Every structure is written in C-alpha cells, then in structure tokens.
Structure 1
Amino acid sequence: MARQLRLFFLIFCAGTCFGQQHPYELNVSSENDNYCLNLHDGYYTNGLFVTLNYAPVGLNNRIRETSRLSKIVGQYQAGQMIFTPEFVTPKTTKDLMDRPFAGYLYAQKGLTFFYKKGHVLKTSVSVGTIGENSLAEQTQIFIHKTFDLLHPKGWNYQIHNEVGVNLQGQYWHELLPACWRKSRFDLHSLSQLTVGNTFTNASAGLLFRAGRFTQPDQSSWFNARVGREASHTSTEFYMFVQPAFQYQLYNATVQGGYFTNDAGAILSPLRHWGYRYDIGLLFSPPRWTFQIMYTYKQREAATMRHNEQFGGLTMAYRFGK
C-alpha cells in the first residue's frame, strides 16, 4: 500500500495530463509581517488581494497564426494594503511613529500579453483610496481583536482621504533560449513602471526559477494557466528568486495625498532609492496553485528605523469549461 501511495504521489507531482483547460482562476493572496514569525506588527503589516484571472474569448480569437502573440489573459483584482509605524501599542507616542499610518484600498483591471518568444507584458489600471476610506484601521482592529493582540493606537494620525488612479506596466524578457527549460532553469529580466497620484515609481530586476515549470503562456507565475482549449497541462514545482532595484518618485502612503492637505497627519520624507528581493516556492497541479514567499525590502520612508520583511501565502483554483 505504501509503495502504491508513493507511486501515485510521483505521478501526481511529475506527470502531464491532457484535458480541457479551465477559463477562470480565483486567486487569493495574503501578505503579513507576522508570517516571518517575528511576533511584530509594523511597516507593511498586512495585505489581502483577491484576483479573478480569465481567458477573454474575443481578444484571443483575434490572434492570428502570424501574430507575435500566443495568448492574452485578463485580470480583475481587489486589494487592501495596511502600513503602520514600527510600534502600534497603546504606549506609542508621536515621536516613536517612524512611518505614517496609512491604508490603500483599490480595484484593478489588467491584461497580460504573452509573446511566442517567451516575453510577457502586463498592463493594468487601478482606482483606489488612501485614508479612512481605505478601512485599514477597522481591518487591523478586527485582526488584533480576533487573535487577542494589543489594541492598535495611533490611527487618528493617519494620512487623509484621497482617491487615486494609477497605471502600471510590467515586462518580463526571457534571457535564455527555450531549450534551457528542459534543463529546469529559467531567467527573465523584469522592468516595471507605475504612474499615478498614489504611486509613481520604476524598478528593474531579474526573475530566476529552478525546478519544473512550463512555458510562460502556460505558467502559474504569470497567472497563465487558464484557457478554453484542450491542451497538455503539466504540474509545476519550482523555487524562485526575484531581486529588484526601485526608484520612487512619489508614494502617497508615506508623503500623503498629492492633492490633499494632510495637516494633522504624521508624514515622512520619501527614501527614493531602494532594493527588495523575493524568494519562495510554488507548486501548481492542473487545477490548483500554492505559493509561499519571503520578501526583504529596504525602508520606504526616510524616518523608518529598520528595513522591512514580510511573508506571502497564495492559493488559486481554476474552474469552468
């Protein structure tokens, strides 16, 4: 019996199945500094993102055999991000608040374009709000009450309300020949540009993957395991490392709203240059995706006393016919 179970597990992890692809994927991602087991609330303290990825019929039907594109995937996303100083206990005073209290609540629409040469372009537009309307204070109080943590104090100094519109483009350029995928190594360059009155920044970095993965237009990393035609679907299991350098021109969660008078809120000068790296594992059988990630990031605000780190957990399920 034990031998049969081991054989089943090997087939499940390493096999390839042929069948109907699923045109929809529901993706839920949670980020929190406590996932690093440091028992500490501070800086980027919590993020929750719910995404619906789908295969748009009309756009994909327009792709011709002679086109450079192989596939288009659409996304709808809703998310919330919460930022606080290093300390949020009842004893925290204004002079200890080394980063502004801020929240960001938004909705986003995106399209990802996959090229036959392995390159990927993702574009998106988001509309959201900072300030009390982001519901960050209520969310953090609920989390602390649920897990019997100290009641957070200081949200009366948070950044004020402002609606923001942000445009973003991300581009992954494959650096290794396609034949290298058989060697289980993959390398992309990554460039990103965000323009808006909430965030304006640019970054550049690398994406390295090692393990079992599929071509980009079928890969879970790019949310591309959705489709409407029957095809081979391989199980993916790989580790990834993604270092990047970023230049920030504007960040409303640190500096306050671009068009808003933030008198009474505690703000901070922006630290323009910084780096971050993400490292993690991803496992994706035909219908599911599971990902765990650790992120280390330099300080965003000039007044922050420490760099920040947080963990991320992602689960996705594909459905529909």
Structure 2
Amino acid sequence: MKKYLLPVLFSFLLSLINSVLTNAQSSRPDRIFRFYEDNDFLNFRGAGTDKAYTNGVRLDIFYERKKPSKFPIDRFFPKAGKHSTDTYGWSVMQMMVTPNNLTIPDFQANDYPYSGALFVTHSLASYNREKKYNFQTEILAGVRGPASFARQTQVWIHQMIGDEIPMGWKNQCNTKALVNLNFAAEKQLLAAGHYMEVIGGAQISAGTLTNSLSIYPLFRIGYMSSYFDGFFSQFSNFAIRRKIQFYFFVRPQITMLASNALMHGEIENNAQLSNEKKSPYTADINHVMGNVDFGLVLASGALGISYTQKPTTAYAKGLYGHNVGNISLYFSW
C-alpha cells in the first residue's frame, strides 16, 4: 500500500499547484521555476544503470524583465533584434560521472572516471518572433572535484534507496576551476501552423569545462505555441486557446569536441597511485560525437512537464555509448 501512496500524493500536489497557479494567472507569466533531473536510471528500455554520465540535477529560475537590465554582464549578451522576447535565467547544477562497477575501490583505467562538477550559470535566451530566430547565451562558473560534493550526494542517495554504495570516489578527477561561455543560434526552416516546426541550430562552447562545436536540426510535432514566441511559450499554454499544449520533439546532433573536463582529466592523488611515475589520466577523448535527444512536452495552465531520452555515442575512445533520461517540471507565474 505504501508504494502507491507517494505517487498519489505527488499527483494530487501537482494538480493542486496547477489549479492555484492557473486561477491566479490572468496574463502572460514572467517567471518560471524549473526542476531538471538527468539520470541514467530513467532508461526507456526499463534497464536503469549507474555508469558514465549517471546523474545531473539542476534548479533554474527564468524571468522576463519589464525594464532593461542593469546587471553589467547582461549588456554584453546579444539580443535577437530591437523587439526581441528576452528570458534571463539563473541556475545551479551538480553533475556526476562514474564507472560501470561501483564496488571496485581502485582506479579503473578502462572505464569512465569518478567525476563531479558543481556550478552556477547566468543566461539569456532572446527570441525574434517575426523573423523566427534566437540567440542563447550562457556563462558558467564552478568547480570540478571533491568540492562538487558529488561523492557525498551519490553515497547518501544510494544509502537512502538501499542501493550498492560507490567505493571508488577517492579516485575522482582532481580539483579544477570551471569557467565557460556557451552560445547557440537557431532559425526556423519550416512550419505548419501550430502543428509542426523544423528548426536549424548551432552551438559553440569555450572554456575550462568544454570546448566544442555542435550542429543540429530540431523537429517539433503536436499542438503547440510557436517556438519563437519565447522560452515561456514552450512550457506553458498561455499563448494558445486550448487548455493543453503537447508536442513531440527530436533533435539529432553532431558535436566536434576538443575537451570535456567532466569526462577527462587528471585523477586525484591517493595511496593506490602514489607509486606511479606520473599522475594517471582518463581515457582519450572522442573528438566527434553523435547523440539524439527525443521526447515529449505537456503543458496545462501554469504547469509543464517534459520527458527526454538522450542516447549518445562513446565519450572516450574504446569505451561505450550511453543513454540518460530526463524529467523536468516547470511552474510559471
């Protein structure tokens, strides 16, 4: 009986929150809170794992300003025209990587490393509704290594759910400051009313976390607001007349990757490695990667939810590809 109680209470809570926010919201919202969870247990094949990029949790607050921002950094963010729809954001995120076998306490040279990162981001997504294009800019600052508290987080969660305790965190990637600038641009290529859109995009990342260039198309099919009405329109249904907005999306992507500090780097010193002539490093990076993100979005009133699958090719040479699922909840007001 207890195993059914939590889902029922959770569903009731979401319904209550949605009802309150929907009744209170008489105009376009200007705030969104997002809870974002990546986890390789959320596998569409029903075979959850604990390996490679295994978990990422993120909390975001997005907002639209009625007056120009006075924050100095915001002045340097590019905007999509004079009358753009601009959504700013602040986020905090923790990410973790582990090898496949969590019971081995020693460094596993032929697998992904133990690695954790903790960082904050500030962003601007600027949309041009008429010309159907956008610019997305994000700055990131944080740390890789023990200060990310990835070990403590994973051990605590595994203790709570009665899962095997990861034993090899003493071999995690060492401490490194993370500073990154990420920029993306997207343009509508084809559309059919509220029912279908094809968008082309490219993204570049530079800094101490990742250095990469990606290109991708984005396909959306369903009943939905225009993608270029702004970020808020994608996860709430204030812009369309029906009570529910729903759509499926697919985004295949090719990435040319120069570096990824979460997956590759020097291993933290410990007794096992003290006799090495040089500090060990993780496996060589794959410089060309492919992945496909696909899933669905459902929005009703001020509440939105998305479910995504993210299969990807191997992050490192000689290792395996991986699949991570994502669930995100959106509350707008």
TM-score, normalisation: structure 1: 0.82
Conserved? CA contact 1:87–1:97, under 8 Å: no
Match of 1:290 in 2: 305
CA distance in 2, matches of 1:21, 1:217: 15
Match of 1:175 among 189, 209, 216: 189
Map 1:114-129; keep pairs closer than 5 Å.
114-115=127-128, 116-129=130-143
1:154–1:52 CA distance, 2 compared to 1 (3 A): same
Shift of 1:311: 0.6
CA distance in 2, matches of 1:47, 1:163: 18
1:223–1:157 CA distance, 2 compared to 1 (3 A): farther
Match of 2:124 in 1: 111
1:22–1:95 CA distance, 2 compared to 1 (3 A): closer
Match of 1:53 in 2: 62
Conserved? CA contact 1:238–1:282, under 8 Å: yes
1:277 corresponds to 2:292: yes
CA distance in 2, matches of 1:271, 1:287: 41
**Secondary structure of residue in 1 paired with 2:159:** helix
Shift of 1:71: 0.9
Greater RCO structure (CA 8 Å; 6+ sep): 1
CA distance in 2, matches of 1:198, 1:279: 25
Match of 2:255 in 1: 246
Q: How many percent identity over aligned positions?
A: 21
Q: CA RMSD in A?
A: 2.8
Deviations 1:244-281 (A, max 9, x none): 00011111122227xx9x96555221111010001101
Map 1:225-264; keep pairs closer than 5 Å.
235-256=244-265, 264=279
Match of 2:40 among 16, 21, 33: 33
**Secondary structure of residue in 1 paired with 2:221:** strand
CA distance in 1, matches of 2:263, 2:285: 7
1:126–1:297 CA distance, 2 compared to 1 (3 A): same
Mean Cα displacement is larger for which, 262-271 or 31-40? 262-271
Unmatched 5+ stretches in structure 2: 1-17, 70-80
1:114–1:318 CA distance, 2 compared to 1 (3 A): same
Conserved? CA contact 1:26–1:316, under 8 Å: yes
**Secondary structure of residue in 1 paired with 2:67:** helix
Match of 1:23 in 2: 30
Map 1:1-321; keep pairs closer than 5 Å.
19-36=26-43, 37-59=46-68, 69-89=83-103, 91=104, 93-95=106-108, 97-115=110-128, 116-177=130-191, 180-182=192-194, 184-218=195-229, 222-224=231-233, 235-256=244-265, 264=279, 266-304=281-319, 306-319=320-333
CA distance in 2, matches of 1:283, 1:131: 36
1:96–1:164 CA distance, 2 compared to 1 (3 A): closer
TM-score, normalisation: structure 2: 0.79
When the two structures are aligned, how many residues end up with a matched partner?
288
